Amino acid sequence: MSAAQANPALGVVPSHAIRLAGVAKTFGDVPVFSGIDLTINTGEAVAIIGSNGTGKSTLLRALNGLNPIDAGSVEVLGASVHALKGDALRRLRARIGFVFQKHFLVSRLCALSNVIHGMQARRSGPQVWAQWCAPAAAREEALACLQRVGLADKAMQRVDSLSGGQSQRVAIARMLMQRPEIILADEPAASLDPRAGDEVMELLFHLSREAGRTLVFVSHDMEHAVRYSDRIIGLSGGGIALDISATEARPQELTGFFAKPAAETADRPRAVYSGAAAA
Ligand SMILES: Nc1ncnc2c1ncn2[C@@H]1O[C@H](COP(=O)(O)OP(=O)(O)OP(=O)(O)O)[C@@H](O)[C@H]1O
Ligand SMILES: [Mg+2]
């Protein structure tokens, strides 16, 4: 099915999942970035790289309205994010899963209850507070989400007894419970050991691929950026200084991107990208 075809539940789905035009952000007197133009196609996996403080998290958070912007427009799933308020913004956010470096689970609850919390994006009330008050269908769906991340056997275990990698996978299962169309992930593997980090990135990549979901993740791990994306965007000098296909990228060359002074990388001609997922 073409990405542009209509889904009766959602209306016409545009071929691009995300489109930014002229986006600028300043914190107080400190400009973070400006003139950001970026189109991400539906189903595309995009890695965002860049030195500390270049605005990667700020950009990601602008995509679901967590960070307001000062200029430009951010369109996600056909909606103008920063024009939405209240229920309309909540409905859009429910379609966008977010995975953070820190998993933000409720430590005294079991894995299954934490996954059921993912339903709060879609409905409210006591039925989504914990597994024991959730309807059977919700428990079954949450269990299927845990199964999808390989943790069905840990469903009733308190999350404070799980390893860091297992906890992050529970957080991913909770995000799946949202039934998201887009997955945003801000350094999801940064707190994990190399093996658990690889597993989490592999999982996110497969979860996006299997359902045609768009994936945008921030990473400082250049192997991850190359292995788990179609396209790599580099932020530097207050803008996009790199935009290349992952198949053209080598981790060592990307490491060189960090060695250059910000002004130099910003002046670099931006590589024209035409990825496999491009419409
Ligand atoms: N809430 C805030 N208030 C003020 N300044 C902020 C705020 N959030 C971010 N900043 C500033 O904006 C700039 C970009 O921050 P951001 O967290 O987006 O960078 P980053 O690229 O994600 O960095 P890192 O790689 O360290 O995670 C930094 O200078 C940061 O200090
Ligand atoms: Mg960050």
Q: What's the pLDDT at 269? A: 43
Name the residue range of residue 126's domain.
99-179
8 Å CB contact between 202 and 142: no
In a domain, 105, yes or no: yes
Query: Could you read off the pLDDT of 44-67 as tens digits, one per residue?
Result: 999 999 999 999 999 999 999 999
Strand-pairing partners, residue 218, are 48, 186
Is the minimum distance from the CB of 54 to ligand 1 under 6 angstroms? yes
193 lies in some domain: no
The Cα 173–Cα 168 span in angstroms is 9
Determine, yes or no, domain membership for 155: yes
Tens-level pLDDT at each residue, the chain (279 residues): 333 344 444 455 568 999 999 999 999 999 999 999 999 999 999 999 999 999 999 999 999 999 999 999 999 999 999 999 998 999 999 999 999 988 899 999 999 999 999 887 666 666 666 666 667 888 999 999 999 999 999 999 999 999 999 999 999 999 999 999 999 999 999 989 999 999 999 999 999 999 999 999 999 999 999 999 999 999 999 999 999 999 999 988 898 888 765 554 544 445 544 443 433
Q: 119 in a domain, yes or no? A: yes
Measured distance CA(138)–CA(159) in Å, rounded: 19
pLDDT at 1: 38
Dihedral sign for Cα 172, 173, 174, 175, please.
Answer: positive
Residue 145 covered by a domain? yes
Q: Is the CB of 234 under 6 A from ligand 1?
A: no
Say how many CA atoms lie within 13 Å of 58 toward its Cβ.
Answer: 22
pLDDT at residue number 12: 54
CA distance 261 to 257: 9
Helix intervals (H) in 78-193: 86-94, 111-116, 136-148, 164-177
32 in contact with ligand 1, CB cutoff 6 A: yes
- 164 lies in a domain? yes
Ligand 1 centroid, distance to 55 Cα (angstroms): 6
Best probe residue, ligand 1, of 23, 26, 32, 222 (max atoms within 8 Å of C-beta): 32
Q: Does residue 219 line the site of ligand 1, with CB under 6 A?
A: no
On whether residue 147 sits in a domain, the answer given is yes
Residue 274 has a pLDDT of 42
Note whether residue 148 is domain-resident.
Answer: yes
Centroid of ligand 1 to alpha carbon of 236 (angstroms): 13
- Which ligand ends up closest to the CA of 58? 1
Number of structural domains the chain divides into: 1
The predicted structure's pLDDT at residue 138: 87
What the block records as the tokens of 220 is 């400082």
User: Which residue matches tokens 């994936």?
Assistant: 215
